[in-house]
Homo-oligomer: A and B are copies of this chain.
Amino acid sequence: MKGKPTIYDIAKKLNITAATVSRALNNNPRISQATKELVLKTAKDMNYEPNKLALALKKGKSNNIGVVVPYINRNFFSSVIRGIEEELFPKGYNVIISQTHESAEREVDIINNLLNAQVEGIIISLAKFTKNTKHFEQVLKKNIPLIFFDRYQEMGGVSSVTIDDYQGSYDATIHLIEQGCDRIAHLTVDPTLSIYKHRLEGYQQALIDHSIPFREELVVKLKSDMEEGKRVAENLMALENPPNAIFSTSDYGALGAIKWLQTNGYKVPEDVCVVGFSNEPFTQFLDLSMSSVDQVPLEMGKMAAQVFLEQVNDGNNVKIEKKVVLSPSLIIRQSSTKK
């Protein structure tokens, strides 16, 4: 009487067995129409709802999927998660989220935990310091779809959804060139990480395509942070032949640069054009709105979810490896528009 009703409660009430109830509820053709209707009606009357845990145990499917990000409250990540949730909720999946705090160790713990929880798939943006991918091997061994997004590492059997960082960077640089800039600085974060490496390459190729010489001293590595951006801008403008454009792989760095330029007598965009990367929400609210490369996070999340769905439904044991590359979208605003 107390607690949720089970199929046994329904069976007892109708004087049939639980097996019949189960079949009736699952619309098994071997059950008579009359019984089906009776069971369905009784189930509704008793407010019956299947126990997902029992089902999960029996079927070996939990209906849960794990999503792992460095920090949930970064706009990019929370937007990706939003996309994932919106795609997966209608299909009956629950989204479990965990944060690595950029720690590779914690990432290992999380993966183990998710495996114990019997998730049916894992969608992850790697912690910055993850070099080793051993903890992912068991995921693959169990044939659980594993999908990297944004940050990834090459690994057999893993799918990924990323943006074309090269293209985004190329487009941004071309845009600056078209604005008449020919001394374009590039602020990077860590060129050993693939995404930043690709951005650097896109920048370089754009220069080459417009016969603009590449100058080593215009490429600066810094943390993604406003203060660093200020410092770097100061150094750059002190060069003998200072830049007339700054393309930063981080909106925060770009913001710092703009602030330093403005408080030191430079006009943006007239003297120096600036473009950032990520299209953080704040970029559009600045008095001088900032151009930036949008990483289409919502789409990325939806796409990652779709890749997961394809793989989880695909019963055959063939390991699929799907690489989706989305096109970023350059948002041109005031900071790079000399009209």
A21 at the interface (CB under 8 A from B): no
Residue of B nearest to A71 (CB): B82
Residue of A72, A94, A281, A282 ringed by the most chain B CB atoms within 10 A: A72
| Chain A positions near chain B (C-beta within 8 angstroms) | 3-4, 49-54, 56-57, 62-64, 71-75, 78-79, 81-82, 85-86, 89, 92, 94-99, 110, 112-118, 142, 226, 255, 262, 280-282, 285-288, 297
Q: Are B64 and A73 in contact (CB under 8 A)?
A: no
Query: A285 contacts which chain B residues (CB < 8 A)?
Result: 226, 255, 282, 285-286
Query: Closest CB-CB distance, A22 to chain B, in whole Å?
Result: 16
Q: Are B85 and A81 in contact (CB under 8 A)?
A: no
Please pick, from B50, B57, B115, B281, the residue contacting A282 in the complex, using a CB distance under 8 A.
Answer: B281
Q: In whole angstroms, what is the CA distance A92 to B117 when docked?
A: 10
Q: In whole angstroms, what is the CA distance A226 to B89 when docked?
A: 31
Q: Report if A85-B98 is in contact (Cβ < 8 Å); known contacts: A52-B116, A52-B117.
A: yes
Please pick, from B71, B142, B286, the residue contacting A286 in the complex, using a CB distance under 8 A.
Answer: B286
Query: A98 contacts which chain B residues (CB < 8 A)?
Result: 85, 89, 94-95
Query: Closest CB-CB distance, A295 to chain B, in whole Å?
Result: 13
Q: In whole angstroms, what is the CA distance A53 to B119 when docked?
A: 10
Query: A142 contacts which chain B residues (CB < 8 A)?
Result: 3-4
Please pick, from B3, B75, B92, the residue contacting A73 in the complex, using a CB distance under 8 A.
Answer: B75
| Interchain residue pairs with CB less than 8 A apart (22) | A3-B142, A49-B115, A49-B116, A51-B57, A52-B118, A53-B57, A53-B62, A54-B57, A72-B72, A72-B78, A73-B82, A81-B97, A82-B99, A86-B99, A92-B113, A95-B96, A226-B285, A262-B287, A280-B281, A281-B281, A286-B287, A287-B287
Query: Closest CB-CB distance, A271 to chain B, in whole Å?
Result: 17
Q: Report if A51-B118 is in contact (Cβ < 8 Å); known contacts: A73-B82, A281-B281.
A: yes
Query: A62 contacts which chain B residues (CB < 8 A)?
Result: 53
Query: Closest CB-CB distance, A82 to chain B, in whole Å?
Result: 5
Please pick, from B75, B116, B118, the residue contacting A75 in the complex, using a CB distance under 8 A.
Answer: B75
Q: Report if A78-B86 is in contact (Cβ < 8 Å); known contacts: A57-B57, A281-B282.
A: no
Q: Are B72 and A82 in contact (CB under 8 A)?
A: yes
Q: Are B99 and A96 in contact (CB under 8 A)?
A: no
Query: A116 contacts which chain B residues (CB < 8 A)?
Result: 49-52
Q: In whole angstroms, what is the CA distance A211 to B117 when docked?
A: 60
Having A49-B116, A50-B116, A64-B117, one finds 5 other A-B pairs with CB under 8 Å, namely: A53-B117, A73-B81, A85-B99, A95-B97, A97-B97
Query: A118 contacts which chain B residues (CB < 8 A)?
Result: 51-53
Q: In whole angstroms, what is the CA distance A329 to B68 when docked?
A: 31
Query: A96 contacts which chain B residues (CB < 8 A)?
Result: 64, 94-96
Q: Are A63 and B117 in contact (CB under 8 A)?
A: yes
Q: In whole angstroms, what is the CA distance A280 to B86 when docked?
A: 24
Residue of B nearest to A79 (CB): B73
Q: In whole angstroms, what is the CA distance A57 to B221 when docked?
A: 52
Q: In whole angstroms, what is the CA distance A117 to B56 when docked?
A: 10
